[in-house]
Chains A and B, each alone.
Chain A
Amino acid sequence: MHELSIAEALAARVEQHAPVRARIRGVEIVVGALRGIEPEALQMCWQAVTAETALAGAVLAIEQRPWTLTCDRCGREWTSVEPFVECTCGNSTPRPHGTDELDLVAITVDANEPGEAAATGRPAAEPPGALMAEPT
């Protein structure tokens, strides 16, 4: 269930961008077909991760980028949510091409309603620690 890790990473990203004393109303992401993300599962995880946090109630909008299919036989190109589908010309093996973006596109901020649950912003992650012993 990678949707849980993704929801956690998304919440951390959004909190970094959240202005102090403002409520986050909406979060928009785009997801490429290769990611294999189940939107319902991600929505469920988003609810769970943000419940009782400053992000509670923020609506998650998921734009899924479909597969692009190319038929080597008739040259047709079209999009589909399924990677392996037959072409209208009868070719059973059109070539699927998917992308793997997973991007936070935008947030919607409501400064009118800071409330007690106002997001506080989260410090950026510490730089990764050094490995042991320098190369010889």
Chain B
Amino acid sequence: MTEGIGPVRVPIMERVLGANDDIAAATRTDLARRGIFAVDLIGAPGSGKTALLEATLRLLKGRHEPAVLVGDLATRRDGDRLARWCDRVVQISTGEGCHLEAGQVRDALRGLDLRGVDLLLIENVGNLICPVGFDLGQAAKVGLFSLTEGDDKAAKHPYLVTEADLLLLNKSDLAPYVSFDRAGFESDVRLLNATVPILDLSARTEEGIDAWLAWLDAGVASVLRGRPTA
């Protein structure tokens, strides 16, 4: 038996989620090469993620060729709702997982024929916290808040607000019925993220939804412009 030197500290310095990030990076490269603009939609349960995507898919008919991935802990209900409006919908069951991970998105995409697709909408699991830190390979992260959740939700979820490329404030049609300090919400957002656009809309009445569709148009156009020529 050799007498050892006792415990040794070995420096490593690596990202803990490096395995997830590596898969996401591969997906990001693949999607960009195919000219697909991918959006990771993050919002609380009941904020209207699926309702927004239903309206979006209906209004974008003929304008873009979308594919949709939808993550839920259980049930296929969201996937079934969205499949009425889109041929390429994959429901991802996360089981106990409170967020989507890059491997799940990659696997779902591998089962899809992506020819002709220019827009990938990923509805993350309803949760304002866990999904933010897991890169999926998206081009843009969109945070969805709604008036019924209360005006303090931006301040309480700083990571999402900081990381988001766009914030949506849904259920604007309910403004007369709920007390939501819109200016206070925005000033919390601005302390965390000076530049992120905030769009007010209602997925139900479609009020304000044109600005969201125009933002998607611009995203698709930017990916097509940046697409490397083979």
- Between A6, A26, A34, A109, the greatest number of chain B beta carbons within 10 A of the residue's beta carbon is seen for A34
Per DSSP, chain A at the interface is mixed
Q: What is the CB-to-nearest-CB distance from B188 to chain A, in angstroms, rounded to a whole number? A: 8
Tell me whether A95 and B191 are in contact (CB under 8 A).
yes
Partner among B12, B106, B130, B230 whose Cβ is within 8 Å of the Cβ of A128: B106
Q: How far is the CA of A103 from the CA of B12 in the complex (A)?
A: 9
* Residue A110 is within 8 A (CB to CB) of chain B in the complex: yes
A136 within 8 A of partner (CB): yes
Q: What's the nearest-Cβ distance from chain A to residue B23, in Å?
A: 5
- Known pairs A34-B159, A128-B27; A6 contacts B16 (CB<8 A): yes
- With a 10 A CB-CB cut-off, give which of B34, B109, B158, B230 has the most chain A CB atoms: B158
Q: Which of A45-97 contact B (CB under 8 A)?
A: 83-84, 93, 95-96
Contact of A36 among B9, B27, B129 (CB under 8 A): B129
Task: Give the interface SS of chain B, mostly helix, strand, loop or mixed.
Answer: mixed
Whether B12 pairs with A17 at a CB distance below 8 angstroms is yes
A1 touching B191 in the complex, CB below 8 Å, given contacts A6-B16, A129-B110: no
B16 touches A131 (CB 8 A): no
User: How many angstroms between the C-alpha atoms of A108 and B192 in the bound complex?
Assistant: 37
Query: Contacting A104 at CB < 8 Å: which of B7, B13, B23?
Result: B13
